[in-house]
Amino acid sequence: MIEQILKPIFKPIQRTVLRPLKQAAKLPKLILAAIRKFLVNAIFSPLKSLNNYVKIGSYYIAKKLIALIVVISLVIVYFGFISPPAFVNKWFGRTPSLEAAAAADKSFTGMASILDANGNLLYKGQMENGLYSGAGKLYYPDGTLRYQGNFALGQMSGAGEMYDKQGVLLYRGEFAADQYAGAGTLFYADGTVNYEGAFAAGVYEGAGTLYQADGTIIYTGAFAKGAYAGDGKLYAGKDQLLYEGQFNNGLYEGSGKLYDASGKLQYEGAFLEGKQSGAGKAYFPSGFVKFEGSFLLGSYHGAGSLYDEAGALLYSGAFAGGQQSGTGQAFNSAGTVIYDGKFASGKYEGVGSLFDADGALLYKGFFRSGALYAEGFMNLSLVKLLETLGPADPPPAAELPADDAEAGDDLFLPDADAEEGNGTTGGEAEAGNEEPGASPAAETDAGSSSGQAEGDASAGAGEEASGGNTAEGNGGNGDTVSNAPSADGQVQALSARRSIVASVTDQASGEEAGTASDPSLDEESLALIEQTLTFSAMQMAFQLMVDEDNPEAFYVTKLSTWNATVMEQTYARLLAAKAVSVKETLANGRTGLLFKSGNALLSFTMNKNKPVRLEISFVAPE
């Protein structure tokens, strides 16, 4: 019902509007067909009548001509503007616009503008076989220039300039394989130079100069893989040189010079991994040498010499961890040796010799924590004692047992060859035994090699302290014969009596067991269990006891000394340590002070609060 009512209304609309629209979709095809029919008829039909001409004014123009003009125009439009071949663009100097994929697929050669899928310009310039080649420009997707310069095989190669996304120049110089390579310059965002020099694979390589943003030089010299390597100079500020020398992987390594904040030379020598290591010199700000010797990781280590700010030698010897450690010599400001021996942590430690300001020997023995430590002699073996102090004074002839009178010459007098080898006077012999800085073996074997002045001084001191135990000369020419035994001779002398000592020990054991004693062992033989060695040059005497289990071995059990240096320094050390003491009044009006120090008992004889004698006894641990 409704269809019958509306059909008469829509049928005219369908006939007049919709049907022509459907036919209009076929219009392009119809037009092309009509043009094609016209061109074919016009071109290939013979000119037989006026129907083959078109009248324009008073002229007749052949349809064939018009058709040829139209065909030629279409060809020109298509190949000249719509899809021109490369040679046409080259003739007219035009740059074709291609999509990147299309350019690569077609192996395009020549000038071109490469677009991305969104139509954004990516590249403009020369191409060869679909790859960027020659001069060209790269762009960011937003159209900002990214790079301009030369290309090869699709990569930045040769001279060029690189920009950031804001269009600020980043780099100007040589490229290879899309990376900085060769001479070039890097820039900060404000346009100031960041680096100028050689590059390789995008990093600093070769000679170059690095700058701060204000133009101040940071470093100038050689680079490798982006780090300082080779010879160069490092600056701490404007014209303020911090280091010059060799680098490796950005650190000081090799020979170089280090300067302080004021620009004065602080160190000159070898470096390793950024720290002083090897032979070098450290300087005071005044320019005087502070230390010369070996370094390890920035500290004095190994052999070296330490000086004061006036250039005077303070110490020469071994170092460890920046402090005196090992064998060395300490000097006063006048250059005189005041100590020769062992050090530890910058202090006297172990065996050493102490000298006065004139170089005269004051003490030779043990030190601890920088102070004289005579207790170190306690329980020391005979061999070690003689190795430390050298040969002891020969005993007076009256002290030799009658049975040993003939053996005494062999025990305590050097043989003829030894005398001829030494060739010294009595005074020189004593001084030679106390030569500072000599090793124990040298003291034993070298005889008398020190100077005449020291020899005489030491000899004089020995004569006064020992009551004239030294041999006297002829008086006329001053020649004397020294009968001071060698250290080895004294050890042999004591050890040679081990049979007697063993007999004494057996005798004592027999008495304890209730057996009869041998009447041939008198008190003089029993005294052989104890031995007393005097070192008059050192003003010290030692009492040694035999080892009950090993009769050949002797050990120090008591030290008696009248050496002022030993007494005063030991007394001062005990007072500073606030050691507990026991005081007693002696019969002669003097005072006795008793101290306990480790396994040693120290007994001072005082005269008006000044020590005049010191006895140190070994206390066996419980």
Q: What is the pLDDT of residue 491?
A: 53
Q: What is the pLDDT of residue 265?
A: 96
Q: Write the CB contacts of 509 (distance below 8 Å, at least 6 apart in sequence).
A: none
What predicted TM-score, i.e. pTM, was given to this entire model? 0.63
Q: What are phi and psi of 486, to 5 degrees?
A: -80, 160
Q: What is the pLDDT of residue 111?
A: 82
Q: What is the pLDDT of residue 252?
A: 96
In three-state secondary structure terms, 593 is strand
| Residue whose C-alpha is closest to residue 502's, from 482, 485, 526 | 526
| Residue whose C-alpha is closest to residue 316's, from 306, 302, 326 | 306
| Residue whose C-alpha is closest to residue 433's, from 414, 408, 405, 407 | 414
Q: What is the pLDDT of residue 177?
A: 92
Q: What is the pLDDT of residue 380?
A: 94
Which residues of the chain are modeled with pLDDT < 50? Answer: 404-484, 496-505, 507-521, 526
Pairwise CA distance, residues 409 & 313, whole Å: 47
What's the half-sphere exposure (Cβ side, CA atoms, 13 Å) at 246? 11
Pairwise CA distance, residues 254 & 271, whole Å: 5
Q: What are phi and psi of 55, to 5 degrees?
A: -85, 125
3-state helix, strand, coil in the chain (%, to 5): 30, 40, 30
Q: What is the pLDDT of residue 489?
A: 56
Q: What are phi and psi of 391, to 5 degrees?
A: -65, 145
What angle do the packed helices 63-77 and 27-44 form, to 10 degrees? 130
Pairwise CA distance, residues 206 & 184, whole Å: 11
Q: What is the pLDDT of residue 3?
A: 66
Pairwise CA distance, residues 204 & 258, whole Å: 24
Q: What is the pLDDT of residue 462?
A: 35
